[in-house]
């Protein structure tokens, strides 16, 4: 059963505009959420994370929002740049999982056009 879902397989956005990526989860025991970025033929690269005690975390152009009641998180990229074109994965880790095993969504392919 897929406990982390990214329902948009792809997103196209114009350079300079905002990219919004969404992620839903079903397991209420998840307490730590991460976003990874992946270029072709490379491993996922950590982007930003958020603990369940927060509802927002910001790092430069990247902001992650967490809505626990809706079991939903989103990643905002402002402004989008051509180098942001990649696959973005949402991942979650459980409260009962002391060593941080991650469950991933299927990913969203982002294309930033000039």
Partner 1 sequence: GAGVSQSPRYKVAKRGQDVALRCDPISGHVSLFWYQQALGQGPEFLTYFQNEAQLDKSGLPSDRFFAERPEGSVSTLKIQRTQQEDSAVYLCASTKGGKETQYFGPGTRLLVL
> C-beta of 82: minimal distance to partner 1 in Å?
22
Please identify which residue in the block is written with the tokens 């879902």. 5
> C-beta of 48: minimal distance to partner 1 in Å?
10
Counting contacts by CB under 8 A, is residue 8 touching partner 1? no
Per DSSP, the residues of 41-81 read: TS--EEEEEEETT-SEEEETTEEEEEETTTTEEEEEESS--
For the chain, counts of helices (H) and of strands (E): 0, 11
Which of the ranges 10-18, 67-75, 76-84, 103-111 carries the binding residues for partner 1, by CB under 8 A? Answer: 103-111
What mask of x and - would describe binding to partner 1 in positions 29 to 68, judged by CB under 8 A?
A: ---x-x-x----xxxxxx--x-------------------
Work out which of 61, 65, 79, 106 binds partner 1, going by CB under 8 A.
106
Token pair in block for residue 61: 């152009």
């Amino acid at each position: 059963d897929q406990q982390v879902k990214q329902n948009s397989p792809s997103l196209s956005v114009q350079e300079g505009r905002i990219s919004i990526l969404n992620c839903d989860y079903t397991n209420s025991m998840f307490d730590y959420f991460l976003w990874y970025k992946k270029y072709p033929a490379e491993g996922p690269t950590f982007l930003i994370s958020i603990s369940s005690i927060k509802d927002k975390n910001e790092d430069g152009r990247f902001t992650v929002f967490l809505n626990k009641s809706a079991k939903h998180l989103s990643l905002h990229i402002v402004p989008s740049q051509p180098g942001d074109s990649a696959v973005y994965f949402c991942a979650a880790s459980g409260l009962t999982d002391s060593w941080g095993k991650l469950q991933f969504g299927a990913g969203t392919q982002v294309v930033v056009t000039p």
